[in-house]
Amino acid sequence: MDSAEYQRTQDALVLIAGIARDLDLDEFLARIDRAETLGPITDPTLYRDASGKLSFVRDLARSLKPFVAEVRRQTGGE
């Protein structure tokens, strides 16, 4: 890794941390839970079409929670 790539990586991490810090992942995951509960009843076709992407996004949000907690801890935003 050269100095330019190092700087790009550092800049990207700081940018990602700034974006992630303000995400309300608990409420986001709660809405996904509601969609997974009600979707098959209220709009089965839409639910079927979106369920794969919904699972992917849910898993991403869950995996991001520890990162967000660490960013908040380090920036005093717990």
Where do the structural domains in the chain lie, given as residue ranges?
Answer: 3-75
46-73 average pLDDT score: 91
> Would you call 71 helix, strand, or coil by DSSP?
helix
49-68 average pLDDT score: 92
Residue 78: which pLDDT band, with cuts at 50, 70 and 90?
Answer: low
- The residue with greater pLDDT, 44 or 16, is 16
**CB of 29 within 8 A of CB of 61?**
yes
pLDDT tens column, 4-43: 999 999 999 999 999 999 999 999 999 999 988 888 888 8
**CB of 51 within 8 A of CB of 35?**
no
